[in-house]
Amino acid sequence: MPRNLFAHVTHWVFDLDNTLYPPEARLFDQIELRMTNFVMQALGVDRPQADRLRKSYWRDYGTTLAGLMQEHKVDPAPYLTEVHEISLDTLTPDHNLRHRIDVLPGRKIVFTNGTAPYAERVIAARGLDGAFDAIYGVEQAGFHPKPERRAFEAVFASDGLDPLKAVMFEDDPRNLAVPHALGMRTVHVAPTPEEVGHVHHHTDDLAGFLARLAN
């Protein structure tokens, strides 16, 4: 991986879930259960139907919340509070990752489809508090989720980001399509690579990847 491919980068954008912590922490097991419970209560359906809706809305709209808002006019605030009230006991500080983020040149931000307060809790549990210049949740994107282009445009405009001088790290490859189209470098962070044209790089070790950029 040539380091000069990142020599132009002045803006480092990180997704949160399964990117700044390993998938083995399984936080989304808790979140998905709470999503299903919310759908059951909000729509008056049984658990199998709620699970089907949760998955289909994620597939079709980018997030379950986006589907609930579009199809059922659900208020996002109670949903976001409910689904993110989870235990973070499986998270531990990652001092190596903290060092690798600290030494990156330029501005570093987090952009998540979760909420900013939830992101702050996760970041603190990982020992990364203070490592980022800004944290953007779905509320800062007008409740439009990645992979929608307008979500990226809202956050990037707020942060003064020039996509031609930026890179995005993300576990969901579909959320890298718009950054690629905007001219960003894209890094898929996941145990298994997916061969798609809008992903420039893949890594299963974010700290190791950042270390190779510095050395």
- Give the separation between CA 59 and CA 53, rounded to whole angstroms: 10
Residue 182: pLDDT over 80: yes
- Going by C-alpha positions, the residue among 16, 10, 18, 22 that lies closest to residue 136 is 16
**Cis peptide bond upstream of 147, omega within 30:** yes
**Complete domains list, the chain, with CATH:** 3-23+92-214 (3.40.50.1000), 27-83 (1.10.150.450)
Interatomic CA distance for residues 213 and 38, integer angstroms: 42
Helix axes 27-43, 47-61, angle to 10 degrees: 110
| Position 1 confidence tier, pLDDT thresholds 50, 70, 90 | low
What is the pTM assigned to this prediction? 0.95
Going by C-alpha positions, the residue among 59, 64, 63 that lies closest to residue 39 is 64
Residues 22-66 have pLDDT tens digits of 999 999 999 999 999 999 999 999 999 999 999 999 899 989 999
59, 145 Cβ separation under 8 angstroms: no
Question: What pLDDT shows up at residue 20?
Answer: 98
User: Tell me: the pLDDT tens digits for 71-116?
Assistant: 999 999 999 999 999 999 999 999 999 999 999 999 999 999 999 9
- What average pLDDT is seen over the chain? 95
